[in-house]
């Protein structure tokens, strides 16, 4: 039986973080596995401002790719 993983991410942003995103100063949050985490996957969340009437494909995109942990070193 193949078991799927589910990731639930809650991200707290300060008003200055939100301003940095809107100004294009911050666009990606990276979650990297360490010895203290229970996951081995690299998760990157890209943030961007969009128009109110943006389509679903403009709002989100999921890409799954292979990643070698040696990239951390």
pLDDT digits (tens, 9 = 90+) for 21-61: 889 888 888 888 888 888 788 888 888 888 899 998 888 87
Q: What is the domain extent for residue 29?
A: 13-49
Gap between the Cα atoms of 19 and 8, Å rounded: 24
pLDDT given for residue 1 in this prediction: 65
In a domain, 24, yes or no: yes
Distances (CA, A) of 54 to 24, 38, 46, 57, 67: 18, 35, 16, 8, 30
In a domain, 20, yes or no: yes
Residue 72 has pLDDT above 60, yes or no: no
Please give the distance of CA 35 from its chain centroid, rounded to a whole number: 20
In a domain, 66, yes or no: no
Q: Which residue has the tokens 């949050």?
A: 29
- Please tell me the total count of domains within the chain: 1
DSSP 34-50: -TT-S----EEEE----
pLDDT band for position 15 (cuts 50, 70, 90) = very high
Gap between the Cα atoms of 25 and 18, Å rounded: 10
pTM here is 0.57
In a domain, 22, yes or no: yes
In a domain, 41, yes or no: yes
């Amino acid at each position: 039986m193949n078991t799927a993983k589910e990731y639930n991410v809650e991200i707290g942003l300060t008003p200055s973080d939100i301003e940095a995103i809107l100004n294009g100063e911050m666009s990606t949050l990276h979650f990297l596995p360490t010895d203290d985490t229970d996951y081995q996957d690299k998760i990157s969340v890209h943030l961007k401002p969009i128009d109110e009437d943006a389509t679903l494909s403009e709002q989100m995109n999921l890409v799954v790719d292979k990643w070698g942990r040696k990239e951390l070193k």
